[in-house]
Amino acid sequence: MTTVLEKVRAGREAAGERWRGAPRWVRWVLLAAVIAFFYALPNKEFYQWLGPIPTTGSNFGQVLFMMSIYVLLAVGLNIVVGFAGLLDLGYFGFFAVGAYTVAVLTSPSSDLKTVWPWLTVLPIGVALALVSGVLLGLPTLRLRGDYLAIVTLGFAEMIRLTATSAGFLRGQRGFNQIPHPPGEHADGTPIFGVLDARPYYWLVLTLIILVVLGVRNLTRSRVGRAWISIREDEDAAQLMGVPTFKFKLWAFASGAAIGGLAGVLFAGKQNFVNNQSFELLNSIIILAAVILGGSGNILGAIVGGGLAYYLIERFRGVELFGIELYEYRFMFFGLCLIVMMIYRPQGLIANRRRAAEFKDRRKEVIVGG
Amino acid sequence: MLLEIDDVSLLYGRIQALHGISLQVDEGEIVALIGANGAGKSTTMRAISGIRPVAGGRILFNGEDITKLRADLRVRRGLCQAPEGRGIFPGMTVLENLDMGAYTRRDRAGIAQDLDRVLNLFPRLAERRKQPGGTLSGGEQQMLAVGRALMSRPKLLLLDEPSMGLAPMLIQQIFTIITEINEQGTTVLLVEQNAQQALARAHRAYVLETGRIVKSGTGEELLHDPSVKDAYLGVA
Ligand SMILES: Nc1ncnc2c1ncn2[C@@H]1O[C@H](COP(=O)(O)OP(=O)(O)OP(=O)(O)O)[C@@H](O)[C@H]1O
Ligand SMILES: [Mg+2]
């Protein structure tokens, strides 16, 4: 087992070296190919050639859409947990804030009867998630470690319970007829709808690319250095003159905003929001996804987020010896996590990156003049 | 006067760790703070660097009252501490750690100059510049902690037990370097278990006992003080 693992590890490190060693244009071409692959993926003409990869028990486009939502969430949570080292157990709460903002302001079932278009509510949902992140962070981020975990856990439960019992949030009845994003095909039919998940997937994919670019720039700046120093040793960071509270709040708030964005997208796609979509389990799965992929690593978060949802969903409609495997999906997911934590606690994408990244950055500085 | 501490007390919950201590550090000095385990030496450092709020008293730095100032802003004023237990960033390389020392600065030329200076002071760090801090030996981590604090180009350098856990030869070396840093113009406030060395190097020193200053004088004076000899110098 170990030898196989070591071979895999050696192979990956070699791949990493080759990637970093490759000329710029090669990297760009490869990156473009990977992105093109993911844009093409939901088309049947394309994925029918991919053997057992597409899910059997559910619409593959829908699965891809949810995977992309999970990737977005994992990328956001990775800022909080991975970069700043803050244990946030209630991240899904911000997702819920985004989704409910859309629901309340756009759905005809809402008491408000504003029925605004989706696009108008998008920035409002993101802003409200950000504000709730700041409000939650202000009193708690001065505390260390466990307190934050407990408070965030409480926050997510509070949101869920409010959604269940507060009359205007309509509990299980929920909000229907949430509008879709704007846009029409040439023949006048709307681009975004309930039946075809692909446009939504493409939209989220595009947003992921933008968000990742933004996060990557942040992490390579003074902000990123501050986050990593806080993660590694908060006292020392403070002694080096890092305003730790400010940067923790910043990490928390930007994570929350990304979570809210995911919620806004989800609400539009599902067309319907009720209290069933915000179980605590989701927060845990996202956290597991970040750790699975490799905490503190953007690529790791992407891989982890996509994989977490895929692993769980792949079991749908799969039978083995007459047993419906989907019933046991969380057991398999848990097993995967345990095995990972034993053999590869640092996550799928190794964290040796930072030293190399630094080298890389130096090189780029020189090359880029 | 560069640093003046006036009647400072500090509480950890209900435990009072400092009972109204006062001390001064003049520009250009090395001042040592000695005392037994648990006397409150590190606590005094925490009060000065600002990672622990004080319960009473005043701290003046360069004539400015910094008692309530946030820790990171004190660094910007020119006060930098190398923490006890080293506190280096384990996942960052030696260079990245040193870079963090210069976090508050933006003068690239000056930073490069100080980097050269630190790497000259500690050739061992220069050899290991790409190595993650966490994999350095204890002595090397200690050097890194001192070097990193120097990277902020502090007016006052706070050192909490820089010789802790070092072999005798390295202890000599680190004290020599402290003297060298001081001669290059940095004021040093030094906490030490190694009282013999500290008193020999320091211009002045204070003795701390259960949260109170019980004695002060020049290094020379305390070195020959019978009670200090008995309690801290371990000479029969
Ligand atoms: N975080 C804390 N919470 C509660 N009590 C503390 C805390 N830190 C220190 N103390 C107590 O305050 C007193 C002074 O501790 P301090 O660390 O300042 O001692 P010190 O003189 O640096 O000792 P040493 O030489 O062992 O480093 C001790 O009695 C210690 O137990
Ligand atoms: Mg101490």
Domains of chain B: which residue ranges?
1-78+189-236
Q: Give Cβ neighbours of residue A198 (< 8 Å, ≥ 6 apart).
A: A42, A43, A61, A64, A65
* B37 in contact with ligand 1, CB cutoff 6 A: yes
The shortest CB-CB distance from A238 to any of B71, B76, B92 is to B71
Q: Per residue in B162-189, pLDDT tens? A: 888 788 888 888 899 899 999 989 999 9
Residues in chain B within 8 Å Cβ distance of A232: 89-92
Kindly indicate the confidence band of residue A54, based on its pLDDT and cuts at 50, 70 and 90.
confident
* B43 in contact with ligand 1, CB cutoff 6 A: yes
- Give chain B's end-to-end CA distance (angstroms, integer): 37
Output the CA B161–ligand 1 centroid distance in Å. 14
* B39 in contact with ligand 1, CB cutoff 6 A: yes
Greatest extent of chain B over all pairs of C-alpha atoms, in Å: 53
Q: Is the ipTM of this complex over 0.95?
A: no
Nearest CA to ligand 1 atom 5: B12
CB A107 within 8 A of CB A49: no
What pLDDT sits at residue A69? 94
Nearest CA to ligand 1 atom 22: B42
**Cβ of A238 and B51 within 8 Å?**
yes
Atom index in ligand 1 nearest the CA of residue B193 equals 25
Q: Per residue in B43-101, pLDDT tens? A: 999 999 998 999 999 999 999 999 999 999 999 999 999 887 778 998 889 999 999 99
Q: Enter the pTM of the model.
A: 0.85
What pLDDT sits at residue A4? 67
* B35 in contact with ligand 1, CB cutoff 6 A: yes
- Distance separating alpha carbons of residues A228 and B91, to the nearest angstrom: 9
Output the CA A145–ligand 2 centroid distance in Å. 23
CB B50 within 8 A of CB B71: yes
What pLDDT sits at residue B119? 93
Nearest to B159 by CA among B191, B207, B197, B205: B191
Higher per-residue pLDDT: A183 or B8: B8
Alpha-carbon gap: A222 to the closest alpha carbon of chain B (Å):
8
Residue that the structure tokens 């057992």 belong to: A52
Element (H, E) at A249: helix A244-270
**Residue to mutate, B18, B34, B41, B49, ligand 1, most ligand atoms under 8 Å from C-beta:** B41
Mean pLDDT for A24-43 is 89
- Distance separating alpha carbons of residues A163 and A185, to the nearest angstrom: 36
Compute how many other C-beta atoms are within 10 angstroms of the C-beta atom of residue B219: 19
The pairing of strands B156-160 and B187-192 is parallel
Kindly indicate the confidence band of residue A360, based on its pLDDT and cuts at 50, 70 and 90.
very low
Mean pLDDT for B111-136 is 91
Residues in chain A within 8 Å Cβ distance of B95: 358
Q: What is the mean pLDDT of chain A?
A: 84
What pLDDT sits at residue A320? 77
* Check whether domain B1-78+189-236 has CATH 3.40.50.300, yes or no: yes
Of A189-198, A202-211, B111-120, which gets the smallest average pLDDT? A189-198
Alpha-carbon gap: A288 to the closest alpha carbon of chain B (Å):
22
Q: In 3-state terms, chain A is what percent helix, strand and coil (to 5)?
A: 70, 0, 25
Per-residue tokens: A32:
């473009």
Q: Does A46 touch chain B (CB under 8 A)?
A: no
The shortest CB-CB distance from B83 to any of A222, A225, A239 is to A239
**Cβ of B92 and A232 within 8 Å?**
yes
What pLDDT sits at residue A364? 43
